[in-house]
Amino acid sequence: MRKIIFIIPIFLFGGFVSYLLFNIQNPVFEKLSPDEMYKRIIKERDYAINQAMARGDYKCCISPPCTMCYMEANQWNNFTAGTCACDDLITQGKKPCPQCERGLCNGESSTCNYKPTNAQ
């Protein structure tokens, strides 16, 4: 009985402390300002891209990596959002996504760091 009386306050105190820490470090999204919301979304998106790269699902050809392929299913990621195949496309002589192409070509085809052999 003494153990139970000792353990219950520890769990209650631990739960209270974790509740405080969670609310201080991770405020509810709806309570954030628009600027804080934007920063959090960008941070989490970039984290997700890094995780996809570590898994080998995100093979981007620019640094920092494109975000277009992560955010939407399109022809450059085989219609699978959260993945990127731009590096593989360039290896095959095809064009990468528009964001990667801008990053590689600096907006001018004459200064492009890759030369696609066939249009996609």
Q: Provide the domain count of the chain.
A: 1
Q: Under DSSP, is residue 9 helix (H, G, I), strand (E, B) or coil?
A: helix
* Structural domain of 33: 28-111
| Domain assignment of residue 22, yes or no | no
What are the pLDDT tens digits along the chain (120 aa)? 666 666 666 666 666 656 555 555 666 888 999 999 999 999 999 999 999 999 999 999 999 999 999 999 999 999 999 999 999 999 999 999 999 999 988 766 556 766 665 544
| Domain assignment of residue 71, yes or no | yes
| Domain assignment of residue 83, yes or no | yes
Q: In which region does residue 118 sit, left (phi positive, over 0), alpha (psi from -120 to 50) or beta (all else)?
A: beta
| Domain assignment of residue 87, yes or no | yes
